[in-house]
Structure 1
Amino acid sequence: MATGALMLDLVGTSLTTEEAITLQHPEVGGLILFSRNYTDPVQLHELMRSVRSIRPDLIVAVDQEGGRVQRFREGFTRLPPMAVLGQLYQQDPVTACTSARELGWLMAAELRAFDIDISFAPVLDIDWQQSSIIGDRAFASEPEALAALAIAFMQGMHEAGMAATGKHFPGHGWVQADSHLELPVDERDETCLEQSDIQPFKALIAAGLDAIMPAHVVYSQVDPQPAGFSQYWLKEKLRKQLGFSGVIFSDDLTMEGASIAGNYAERCRKALAAGCDMVLVCNQPVHALEVLDYLKSQVAIVNPRIAKMRGRPDDSFLNSQRFKQARELAGRCMALIG
C-alpha cells in the first residue's frame, strides 16, 4: 500500500539507476510524469513497466486536462480545452454534459491503458475572464454550469476506473498573477468566495470527488497563508465545513507561490501540517531529495487515503465502440476551436 507523502518526477524518458533507488523509499508515494517523459506509446509502456516492477503501489499521475495542458499528445487523442464544453452548454446543456462525460471517460481510458492512475482533473476554477493561467482550462464562467460539466466529466473518469482531483481550491480563477511565477493575492472576502468559487467544489464533493488540490493563492481577508499551507482552508473549511474526506494533494512546492513557506523541508512540513496528504515536488530533483530526507527524519504515518487513488484496471476500453465514438466527439470539439 502506497503511504508515502512525496510525489516527485523523473528527468527523462527512462528510469535511471538513481531514480529507481529513490522510488523504492517508502516515503515516496507518487510519481508525476511530464511531456519530457514521453515520446510515444511504446516508450511509455516500457517506462511504466520499469516503474511498476519496483513500486507497483505508486500513485502515477499526469496533467492531461486537454487543451494547452495535455502532456501526452502523439499517439493520444487531442482533447479540447474544457471551455469548449462551456460554450456548448450555453446552447445545449444536455449535449454538453453528455460530451463532458464522454471526454472524461476517454481521457481516463487512454491513461489507464498505460497503468497511469490519475490525471489531475477536473479544473474547478471559474473563468472570471482575467486569469491567463486558468483561462480556457476552466469549463465555464457560471458556477452552476461549471459544476454540471465537471460532475459529468468526473463521472466519465470514474467509469474508466480513474479517481478525480478537483483543483485549485478554493478557486484560482479570480487572480491575474500566475502562481508558478509569483504569489497571487485574492482580496475578496469569504462570503464572496462561498457564493461563487467554492460552489463547484461543494457540488463535486457531494457527487463523490476523490481528491482536491489547493491553490498557491493568498485569500488575504481569510488567512495570510496560501490555501495549501492554511489549516483554516484545509482542516476547517474543506474537511469540517464541506465534509471532504478524500485526498488533499499540495500543488507543486517548487512554484513561486509556495516560496512564502520557506525552504523545501519547511514547505513540506507546513503543507502536511495544514492538512495535505501528499506533497508534489516537480522539476527540481535536488529539492525533491531534500524533501525526501526531511520525511525520512520524521515518524512514518500510515495514510490509507492515498492508496484509494490507484486506478481500477480494465484493458477492454480501447477496443470498444464507446472509445471510437468518444474519439470522434473529441475531434468535433477540437474543430470548434477558433
Structure 2
Amino acid sequence: MRYSCLAFSILAFIVFTACGKDKGTALDPEALKKNKLLNTSHQTYSLQDFYQYDSRLAALTDSIFNTLTDQERVSQMIISSIGDLGHSLGEAKALVKNKKVGGFVILNDTKENHKKAIEALNLTAKENHVPGLLFSADAEPSLLNSRIKGTQILINTNEIETVSESDSIAKLICKELKELGVHQNYAPVLDVGSNNSAIKNRSFGSDPDQVIALSQAFIKSTQEENIAATVKHFPGHGLVVGDTHFDLVSIDGDLQELNNYKPMIDFGVISVMVGHLSITNNPKYDTYGVPASCSRKIVTGLLKNELNFKGIIISDGMKMKALEQIPNATLEVSKAGCDIILIPEDEDETLALILNEMKTDTAYRNQVYESVKKLIRLKICLGIM
C-alpha cells in the first residue's frame, strides 16, 4: 500500500521559515517551487522507496531538513514513551509543543486509550507546526496484548512454526497498528533460543535457519503494509545469560547470532535495534565493559560498515539497568551511531548533551545531520511528512 506523501505544504514551510532559527536556513517558498524542492506534483512515496535512489525524494528530504533549527533536528532522534509505563498525555503534549521529541513508543495501555493519545498528540503537533510524529510499538506476537490491551489474542512467537503463520500474524498485527496510527513495529525478535530470561517465548526458536525464514516473512508482510519492521537485539541476546533490563550482561566469545543479521539487511529491513550487551573475550569486537549500543566499534564499525546497513539504527530502551554505569549514555549511543535514542530518562538533558557536543565536534555534528535526514526520509516514506 502506498501512502500519500504529505511532506509540508507551502504554508508549513512559510511557518517554519518565520520561526527563529539557530542553524536552519531560511527558504523562500517561491524559490523552492522553481527548484522543485516542494512536493507540488503530489508525488507519493512508500517504504519501497526508502533504500532506492530518488533525486526528488532526496531533495524533499533536504528541503525539510533546511527548515529546522538544530533543536528541531536533534529532537527527531528522540523517541519517548506514552502509556502506563510512559509519560502522561499532558507531559507528552508538552514535549511535542516544545519540539523536544520526534515521536513516541506506546507502552501498556488499552487500545482505546492509545488511539485517543495518538490522535491528541498529532493534533498538538499540527497546532504547533511540529514535523510529523513517528509512533512505534513493541508489537511482537508475544507482547502485543500486554503493550496494547484489547487487541486480538495471538499465539506466542515461539509457537509460530511456518512462513505462512508468520505472514498471517504479521498482517493481523499490522491491522491493529494501523487502526491506532502506529508507523513502526519493534519486531521481529531475531535472537536465537528461548532459554534466556529476557527473550523466553519472544523468539522464533533455536534453529537459526527457522529464525531467519520466519523473520523474513514477518518483515515482508509488515513492510508491505507500510509499517517499518525492526530486527533486534543486535548483535544477539538469545544465547547470553541474564537480562539487560536489570544488569549489564555479556556475549562471551564469538558473536554466534551475528549471521542472522546480514540476511535481514539484504532483505531490506528498515530498522535494527541494538542491545545493551557488552562483548568479552573477543579480540575483534570486545567492548571492554561498554554496552554494544554505546560502542562505535559495534554500531558504526560492525553494523554500518561491515554489514553495510543503511537503515535506521535504534538504541534499546535507555532506562534499562545495563546503562546505569555509563555517564551521559544518551550522548554515547548517539556518538556510537544510533539514529534513534529510545525512551531517554530526561529529554531536556539529552537535547542539551547532543547540542553542546555538536558545537565543538564537527564530525559528530555531521553524523547527527545524517541521522536526522534518514529519519526525515523515513517519515516521508511513511506518509508522516
Show the counterpart of 1:304. Answer: 373
Q: Tell me by how many angstroms 1:110 deviates.
A: 1.3
Shift of 1:11: 5.7
Equivalence map 1:84-103=2 (5 Å):
84-85=159-160, 88=161, 96-103=162-169
Name the stretch that deviates more: 296-305 or 173-182: 296-305
Q: Tell me how far 1:64 sits from its aligned partner.
A: 1.2
Alignment of 1:137 with 2:202, yes or no, is yes
Aligned-partner Cα distance in 2 for 1:31–1:84: 29
The aligned counterpart of 2:120 is 50
Question: Would you say the 8 A contact 1:62–1:71 is kept in 2?
Answer: no
1:273 aligns with 2:273: no
Q: How many Å separate the matches in 2 of 1:53 and 1:14?
A: 17
Aligned length: 289
For 1:231 and 1:101, locate their aligned partners in 2 and report how far apart those are by CA, in whole Å. 35
Moved more, 148-157 or 19-28: 19-28
| CA distance, structure 2, for counterparts of residue 21 and residue 245 of structure 1 | 32
Cα 1:30/1:73, change in 2 over 3 Å? closer
Q: Paired residue for 1:23?
A: 96
Q: 1:30 to 1:122 in 2, by over 3 A?
A: same
Alignment deviations for residues 190-209 of structure 1 (CA, whole Å, 9 cap, x no partner): xxx2xx40122111101001
Deviation sequence 1:126-185 (CA, Å, 0-9, x none): 11x531111211112111110000000001101211011110001001112110000001
The question of 1:203 aligning with 2:263 is answered yes
1:107–1:276 Cα change, 3 Å:
same
Contact 2:106 2:147 in 1 (8 A): no
State the match for 1:230 in structure 2. 295
Alpha-carbon contact 1:124-1:147 (below 8 Å) kept: yes
Distance in 2 separating the partners of 1:258 and 1:7: 17
Does the 8 Å CA contact 1:28/1:292 hold for their aligned counterparts? no
Distance change (3 Å), C-alpha of 1:14 and 1:181: closer
- 1:105 is matched with which residue: 161, 171, 192? 171
Any conservation in 2 of the 1:211–1:247 contact (CA below 8 Å)? Answer: yes
Write the mapping of 1:279-290 to structure 2, written as runs, cut at 5 A: 279-281=341-343, 284=345, 287-290=346-349
Contact 2:311–2:374 (CA under 8 A) maintained in structure 1: yes
Q: Assess, with a 3 A threshold, how the Cα gap between structure 1 residues 147 and 308 changes in structure 2: closer, same or farther.
A: farther
> Given that residues 215 and 228 in structure 1 are in contact (C-alpha distance below 8 angstroms), is that contact kept between their aligned partners in structure 2?
yes
Q: Is the 8 A contact 1:176 1:184 kept in 2?
A: yes
Residue number in structure 1 paired with 2:82: 10
TM-score under structure 2 length normalisation: 0.69
Q: Is the 8 A contact 1:15 1:47 kept in 2?
A: no
Change in CA separation of 1:274 and 1:246 when aligned onto 2, cut-off 3 Å: same
Distance 1:16 1:144 in 2: 43
| 1:66 and 2:128 matched | no
State the AA in 2 paired with 1:233.
I
Displacement of 1:251 in angstroms is 0.7
Check whether the contact 1:65–1:120 (CA below 8 A) recurs between aligned residues.
Answer: yes
Task: Assess if the C-alpha contact under 8 Å between 2:163 and 2:217 holds in 1.
Answer: yes
Identity over aligned pairs, percent:
24
1:228-260 C-alpha deviation (Å, 9 max, x unpaired)? 011111111111111100011111111111123
Distance in 2 separating the partners of 1:268 and 1:205: 25
CA distance in 1, matches of 2:157, 2:165: 11
Shift of 1:105: 1.7
Query: Is contact 1:27–1:296 with CA below 8 Å preserved after alignment?
Result: no
- Once the 2 structures are TM-superposed, how far is the Cα of residue 20 of structure 1 from its aligned partner? 1.3
Per the alignment, residue 156 of structure 1 pairs with 221
Equivalent pair of 1:34/1:62 in contact (CA under 8 Å): yes
Q: Which residue of 1 aligns with 2:212?
A: 147
- Structure 1 unaligned regions, length at least 5: 89-95, 314-338
Please, what is the CA RMSD of the aligned residues? 2.3
Match of 1:116 in 2: 182
For the 8 Å contact 1:7–1:280, the answer to whether it is kept is: yes
Question: In structure 2, how many angstroms separate the alpha carbons of the residues matched to 1:304 and 1:211?
Answer: 15
Residue 113 of structure 1: how far off its partner (Å): 1.7
List runs of 5+ in structure 2 lacking aligned partners: 1-63, 65-71, 126-130, 359-364
Change (3 A) 1:103 1:79: same
**Distance (whole Å) between structure 1 residues aligned to residue 142 and residue 82 of structure 2:** 23
